[in-house]
Structure 1
């Protein structure tokens, strides 16, 4: 009975004290409706897009919302403003052990799904209307922890059917024996790589489908999808780990960093002022082993990126970014300078550089135009 009483006491502590102060470092996932709602709120008020470097922390989202003038809005606009406030208020860890210092949250979700089609044979998940990106994991466990308002960490574990199938080897690949003796920039080194690109998956060919991995070969081994630590304050954030990211405001895919990629393993620092200036630097680390074999890699590959964004007036903002893919067997410390002009790193066997800019203008209420160019 004493053990049961202790368990019930802990459960009451976990579920009984909602955190009132908020967690600045909480990172809002890109799947949240907050982003679309904030974009719409800025547009109907004749303001250029809010920061297109995402995800945001709660502190940054509050900062962005605070620059929308709620005075003088009509009733419809005012109601929409309050709905955005309510959406943002939900984007925080729910249960706290100590209201002012420590929070712990565990979420378990079970999502059994079944799909069926009567068309011809499918080869890819995107052949389905409800493709891999839409399907929920069969079982998902998410752990969250926060310390004071400036630290947050999360990780998830899932049991579900994967996008690719272990039975695919040698079946549906584009040019499985096509060598690239001269390499491809910093992506594929000369003479030592063969490009294997899966063109389909046996898992998606069945007329009757489910998100439960019936066979071991269909299990999704690539997890967690989100796992990081985050530090944040009123005008800065620092994150290290794995999360889905997006740079830009395109609707059909951004040039460099797009949420079409499931995650980046990255170190990311962001600084911002009173809705006028942003500076960000990111190091994103990639797997350099294309073979799928489990062995120690003899090289590394990462994307180094930095960007600055200006908003000289509410109705206009522009962003400049310079980025470089770095691949080598040796890490050269002098190449990691985030203030460096990346295009001066001109060893083509090690580096591929790219710069781009984006302009967002909203000269009238309910009207916005965004332009990007490499």
Structure 2
């Protein structure tokens, strides 16, 4: 009898370990759970929660713990309950999901606005027709995620004269996400998937993630200077350690080396950034960054300091000396291999319902004793980015009323640099422009260049405002 009881107890213990609620689920940078916590923080007069995403469930639970549920009005209480429900996986060992979305897009001007970049509702916002999601919780400390979608490719055609083109962005007045119907074809099915797939593990106060996912560092609505959320994916390795008032993140992301697709224009002025599967990949192009975040003055002020380098090597060489997560990357002085960037962020909630924030990016400036731009030879032009904004959140009804206003300005040479003191037109450079390999036309590859940091790059002035209302898990309206 004792042996049977012991065996039964052992089996129950094993089952409890297998189906224990895991807090290592990774929530994406566009997660409604994070947005809900952010609105709760602002409405309660707190500084923004950590703006370095993605986030584990353990970290989001730690954020939520600061909110006093008993003092919340109805709209905030509904939002709070939504967050609690989403952070509870119910002790499942795995979850299989199938999302089906049918979308249509109508556009009156089929002559002037025919590129994906012309659309606010672009490829990142559009949903595939089908999305098969598999989540696994092998144990309390491990988590896996994979999203297999069925949708159309970002680009459907390529010509030497015009480069990449797509029939889904304005060439026809009306299109849908049914890629197999005209003007698309069955062969426009995107086989570059999955765009979000990774494994993660961690514990209380720390998380490690490896795979494909989006990254975003900063409070900006139109983007962020170090890492914007506009890239389709990062090939990322990320380590985060955090407490109630402090967080450290170390992250890497890898991209094709520019030598794979430069020069983009050939000698005749034709586009040349398309390839096929048989071309051997060479060269190393790595983003490496670390970030410190902390909260002060009774959670009223949030600060963040981030530093990163873009490291390149044409022969796949990685100098292991640069992998020190506590080093000041700028002080390696390896201009021939790396381009560094520093950003500083601050936000403050002076009263309940309102938060003000700012960002500064420092790419290039002259230290005392260095050549002065416009005066000395071999001087480098200064390159800064500035952002200021305000966010508001107010609980009403069963949801949250929210809004924001933001201004940003970037210098012309922000993110741009050669590996020396001069650069010819068409040279690849050592800069903060990266390429995503986009699949199109049954097996061809297009190198789609985008800014890694702020999506609008340098030489930009951006003003943005929005207002909306959201009942989390039900509906929202925004304009």
- Please classify the TM superposition score into its range, dividing by the shorter chain length: 0.7 to 0.9
- 2:97 aligns with 107
Distance in 2 separating the partners of 1:129 and 1:56: 26
SS of residue matched to 2:55:
coil
Q: Shift of the alpha carbon at 1:89? A: 2.1
User: Does 2:249 correspond to 1:280?
Assistant: yes
Rounded Cα–Cα distance in structure 2 between residues aligned with 1:339 and 1:128: 40
Residue in 1 that maps onto 2:415: none
Give, in whole Å, the separation in 2 of the partners of 1:292 and 1:362. 48
Q: Distance in 2 between matches of 1:110 and 1:75?
A: 35
Offset of residue 32 of structure 1: 2.4
Write the distance in 1 (CA, Å) between the matches of 2:120 and 2:303. 36
Count of matched residue positions in the alignment of Structure 1 and Structure 2: 321
Tell me: CA distance 1:47–1:110, structure 2 relative to 1, closer, same or farther (3 Å). Answer: closer
- Decide whether the 8 Å contact of 2:124 with 2:232 is kept in 1: no
SS of aligned partner of 2:330: helix
Partner of 2:470: none
Does residue 26 of structure 2 align to residue 27 of structure 1? yes
Any idea what SS the aligned residue of 2:147 has?
strand
- Identify which range, 127-136 or 358-367, moves more after superposition: 127-136
1:251 lines up with 2:221 in the alignment: yes
Distance 1:84 1:46 in 2: 16
Worse overlay, 259-268 or 127-136: 127-136
| Aligned 8 A contact 2:100 2:129 in 1 | yes
**Cα distance between partner residues in 2 of 1:130 and 1:138:** 16
Normalising by structure 2, we get a TM-score of 0.63
Question: How far apart in 2 are the matches of 1:130 and 1:309?
Answer: 32
Q: Deviations over 1:237-270 (max 9, x none)?
A: 0000111121000111100111111211111000
Between structures 1 and 2, the one with greater helix share: 1
* Structure 1: gaps (5+ residues): 1-16, 97-102, 174-197
Q: Paired residue for 1:201?
A: 166
| CA 1:265–1:88: 2 relative to 1, 3 Å | farther
- 1:237 pairs with 197, 207, 215, which one? 207
> Could you say what secondary structure the match of 2:351 adopts?
coil
- TM superposition shift of 1:129: 6.3
The corresponding residue for 1:305 is 289
CA distance in 1, matches of 2:235, 2:85: 28
In structure 2, relative to structure 1, the CA distance for the partners of 1:94 and 1:123 (3 Å cut) is farther
Q: 1:21, 1:150 → 2: CA distance?
A: 9
The partner residue of 1:344 within 315, 331, 334 is 331
Instruction: Say whether the 8 Å CA contact 2:21–2:91 is kept in structure 1.
Output: no
- Residues 98-156 of structure 1: per-residue CA shift (max 9 Å, x gap): xxxxx122112333433333333341235456432332102221111112221100111
Change (3 A) 1:336 1:321: same
Question: What's 1:134 paired with?
Answer: 125
Correspondence for 1:53? 52
The verdict on how the C-alpha distance between 1:46 and 1:109 changes in structure 2, with shifts beyond 3 A counting, is closer
8 A Cα contact 1:95 1:104, kept in partner: no
Whether the aligned pair in 2 keeps the contact of 1:168 and 1:202 (CA below 8 Å) is no
Q: Is the 8 A contact 1:26 1:92 kept in 2?
A: no
Provide Cα deviations, 1:50-70, integer angstroms capped at 9, x if missing partner. Answer: 000111111100000102234
Q: Would you say the 8 A contact 1:142–1:157 is kept in 2?
A: yes
Q: Secondary structure at the match of 1:154?
A: strand
CA contact (8 A) 1:265 1:285 kept: yes
- Work out the CA distance in 2 between the residues paired with 1:302 and 1:92: 36
RMSD of aligned Cα (Å): 2.3
3-state SS, counterpart of residue 51 of structure 1: coil
Contact (CA 8 Å) 1:203, 1:218: kept in 2 or not?
A: no
Moved more, 138-147 or 285-294: 285-294
Kept in 2, the 8 Å contact 1:240–1:268? The answer is: yes
**Residues 39 and 304 of structure 1, relative CA distance in 2, 3 Å threshold:** same
Residue pair 1:34, 1:84 contacting (<8 A) in 2 also: no
Contact 1:94–1:105 (CA<8 Å) still a contact in 2?
A: no
For residues 337 and 37 of structure 2, the distance between their equivalents in structure 1, rounded to whole angstroms, comes to 40
Q: In structure 1, how many angstroms separate the alpha carbons of the residues matched to 2:78 and 2:108?
A: 45
In the alignment, the residues of structure 1 paired with residue 187 and residue 252 of structure 2 have an alpha-carbon distance, to the nearest angstrom, of 33
**Is the Cα contact below 8 Å between 2:290 and 2:325 reproduced in 1?**
yes
Closer/same/farther in 2, CA of residues 324 and 65 from structure 1, 3 Å limit: same
Which TM-score applies when normalising by structure 1?
Answer: 0.79
> What is the match of residue 191 of structure 2?
221
Question: CA offsets per residue over residues 159-217 of structure 1, 9 Å max, x none?
Answer: 2112112x2231423xxxxxxxxxxxxxxxxxxxxxxxx4x434421223122333255
Residues 19-77 of structure 1 show CA distances to partners (whole Å, capped at 9, x for unaligned) of 98532110112332112211111111111000001111111000001022345x2534x
Q: d(CA) in 2 for partners of 1:149 and 1:83?
A: 26
* Distance across 1 between alignment mates of 2:72 and 2:63: 21
The 1:21–1:59 alpha-carbon spacing in structure 2 relative to 1, beyond 3 Å, is: same
SS of residue matched to 2:143? strand
